[in-house]
C-alpha cells in the first residue's frame, strides 16, 4: 500500500507539470485495466519517457528503466525515488519490479529487454505502449516544449500457463522473453491507423 501511495504521489507531482509541457494524447486508454498487475512494454526509451508515462496513464506507474530513460535529469529527478529507474540494471531493479507486480501494481518497462523472470514468477498481464514523439538529436534530449506526444496502449495479453513458475528455469525465462519480444514486434508491424497517429508516425509509415 505504501508503494502504491508513493507511485500515486509521483503521478500527482509530475502530471500537471508534464501535461503543461507536452500535448499528450492517449489512444485506447480503456485497454489498461483499473486493477491488477500489468507489465507495460514501452518502445520509447527517451529520457522523458518515465515522466510522460506517469503523466499520461490513468493508473500510478512504477518505471523500470535502462539507458537514456534511466539517466537523472530535470524530467526524471522530480520523481526522486518514487520510480524504479536505475542507471545500471541489476538485481535491485528486478527485485523491485517483482515486488510491485506482486502488489498488483503497474510497472512500465523503458529499455530493459530481460523481463522474462519478473513475468514468469508473477504471471502479470502484459501490454505494449507505442509512443509517437518528435525525434531528438540524442535520446538524452527531451522533446521540445509543446511537442505532441501520442501513447497507444495495446490489448491486454496474458502469459501462457507453461511460462509461469515460482522458480523458472533459464529456458522458461528465455521463452518468456521471446514471448514478450514477439508481442512488441507485432505491435510495431501492426500500428494504429495513420489518420489516428501524429505527424511523425505518419511520415515513418509513408517512407
The whole-chain average pLDDT of the chain stands at 82
Q: Which three cell numbers stand for residue 77?
A: 529527478
**Which pTM does this prediction carry?**
0.82
Q: Sheet of 38-42: strands edge to edge? A: 23-27, 148-153, 125-132, 38-42, 106-110, 61-65
- The answer to which of 50-54, 149-153, 179-183 has the lowest mean pLDDT is 50-54
Q: Is the pLDDT of residue 8 over 80?
A: no
The pLDDT of residue 6 is 64
| Domain edges within the chain | 2-134+143-206
Q: Is the pLDDT of residue 176 over 90?
A: yes
Amino acid at each position: 500500500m505504501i508503494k502504491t501511495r508513493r507511485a500515486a504521489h509521483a503521478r500527482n507531482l509530475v502530471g500537471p507539470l508534464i501535461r503543461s509541457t507536452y500535448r499528450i494524447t492517449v489512444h485506447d486508454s480503456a485497454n489498461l485495466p483499473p486493477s491488477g498487475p500489468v507489465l507495460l512494454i514501452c518502445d520509447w526509451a527517451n529520457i522523458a519517457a518515465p515522466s510522460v508515462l506517469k503523466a499520461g496513464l490513468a493508473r500510478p506507474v512504477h518505471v523500470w528503466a535502462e539507458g537514456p530513460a534511466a539517466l537523472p535529469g530535470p524530467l526524471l529527478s522530480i520523481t526522486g525515488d518514487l520510480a524504479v529507474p536505475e542507471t545500471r540494471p541489476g538485481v535491485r531493479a528486478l527485485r523491485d519490479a517483482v515486488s510491485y507486480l506482486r502488489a498488483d501494481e503497474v510497472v512500465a518497462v523503458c529499455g530493459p529487454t530481460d523481463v522474462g523472470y519478473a513475468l514468469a514468477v508473477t504471471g502479470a498481464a502484459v501490454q505494449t505502449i507505442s509512443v509517437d514523439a518528435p525525434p531528438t538529436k540524442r535520446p538524452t534530449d527531451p522533446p521540445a516544449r509543446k511537442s505532441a506526444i501520442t501513447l497507444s496502449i495495446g490489448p491486454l495479453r496474458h502469459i501462457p500457463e507453461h511460462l509461469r513458475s515460482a522458480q523458472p528455469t533459464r529456458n522458461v525465462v528465455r521463452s518468456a522473453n521471446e514471448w514478450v519480444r514477439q508481442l512488441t514486434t507485432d505491435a510495431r508491424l501492426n500500428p494504429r491507423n495513420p489518420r489516428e497517429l501524429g505527424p511523425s508516425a505518419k511520415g515513418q509509415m509513408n517512407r
